[in-house]
Amino acid sequence: MRTQVAIVGGGPAGLLLSHLLHRQGIASVVLESRDRAYVEHRQRAGMLEQGTTDVLRESGVGERLDREGLVHHGLELRFGGASHRIPLTDLTGRTVTVYAQTEIVKDLVARRLADGGDVRFEAEVVEIDPIAPSVTFRHEGAVRTLECDYVAGCDGFHGVSRPAVPGLRTFEREYSFAWLGVLADVAPSTDELIYAGHERGFALHSLRSPKVSRLYLQVAPDEDLAAWPDERIWSELAARFATDDGWKLHEGPITDKAVTPMRSFVAEPMRHDRLFLAGDAAHIVPPTGAKGLNLAVSDVTILARALIERYELGSETLLDGYSATCLRRVWRAEHFSYWMTTLLHADPAADDFARRLQRSHLDYVGGSVAAKTSLAENYVGLPLE
């Protein structure tokens, strides 16, 4: 077997890369270890930066996004019983859109298959050769080798691509808390996302659709889901979202719940010879800043441009700069996500001094146009260039 670009991982990063390359006549094969049903139905958040929605629309996979996505022009910070709106569009001229990652994957799978793309589910990659580029994988009971010009590792944090890069330098931070996330069949209690900082812990009210709400609670990393019946979840959410003006939280049947640990992680460089890392294979951010999916999209957009330059012009200038270009954006997103996380979460180890500093910072962000503008610029996403 041979192709131009072998793509390891059939999540949004790998599928989008394959789609972008196809539009320029560059052949690829996508190898995904899970089956199609798993890939299309695993629950992931979907807060899309302006740049991400632009890429999806311009590449021709934005029809359902435009029809079903929920465009947001602001968000709300809530602390001390009061609400503070961050007017994203007024401050930046840009928007964010709620559209679940699950739906993006469905759209991309459908497009790649309709275009005759080679997407192989239940294809377990067992070896990557980044120098004489090839990928060996197990599929339908046989072991095969896919030779290629380049390999794109888009297979997530636990994938096989990153271990194939020798001499990586890694940076990591573990957090002393996690998120208990729930899906509920109830109309959202808000038109815009609510980020709540409370002495009992952080809470987030997001929206999945006009009839489905996505909510999160800060909990311990080893929290037992059995200790969180629906009644306790709704009671705790109501306490953390409470305001002095009597705002009410809508309650309804909870259809899904899970505990997600939080970490920051970066691996450098994002390239070794003919192997390029993208998305969660190279970096992880805490979800507070809503950057994970958006970083993956920016990575593969930059990589697609570099590969197109290579095949159309014979130049490797953009390929040579890929890692440095991506990492500048990655570290900005890492800092913003860390900043949002430490600003809003209750640190179990914090003393009274640290808690007062945190509250002072929240007051400053809530009352300063300059601070709100900085938050807004980072939240809607800095320009890809």
Helix, strand or coil, per DSSP, at residue 84: strand
d(CA 232, CA 133): 53
**Do residues 372 and 75 lie in contact, with contact meaning Cβ atoms separated by under 8 Å?**
no
CA 43 from chain centre, in angstroms, equals 12
Quickly list H helices, 273-321: 292-313, 317-320
Which of these is catalytic: 205, 291, 345, 372? Answer: 291
Q: Is 106 a catalytic residue?
A: no
Which of these is catalytic: 12, 133, 287, 345? Answer: 287
Which of these is catalytic: 195, 205, 286, 322? Answer: 195
Count the residues in the chain.
385
E-only strand ranges, the chain: 5-8, 28-31, 47-48, 70-72, 75-79, 82-86, 96-98, 118-120, 124-129, 134-139, 142-147, 150-153, 169-184, 194-196, 203-209, 212-219, 254-268, 271-272, 275-277, 283-284
Closest CA to 217 of 175, 250, 186, 259: 259
Q: Is 291 a catalytic residue?
A: yes
Q: Is 361 a catalytic residue?
A: no
Q: Is 87 a catalytic residue?
A: no
**Do residues 139 and 32 lie in contact, with contact meaning Cβ atoms separated by under 8 Å?**
no
**Do residues 152 and 276 lie in contact, with contact meaning Cβ atoms separated by under 8 Å?**
yes
- Taking residue 116's Cβ as centre, other Cβ atoms within 10 Å add up to 7
Which of these is catalytic: 72, 198, 283, 372? Answer: 72
**Do residues 301 and 289 lie in contact, with contact meaning Cβ atoms separated by under 8 Å?**
no
Q: Is 195 a catalytic residue?
A: yes
Identify how many contiguous H helices and E strands the chain contains and give both numbers: 12, 20
d(CA 357, CA 363): 10
Annotated catalytic residues are 72, 195, 287, 291, 379
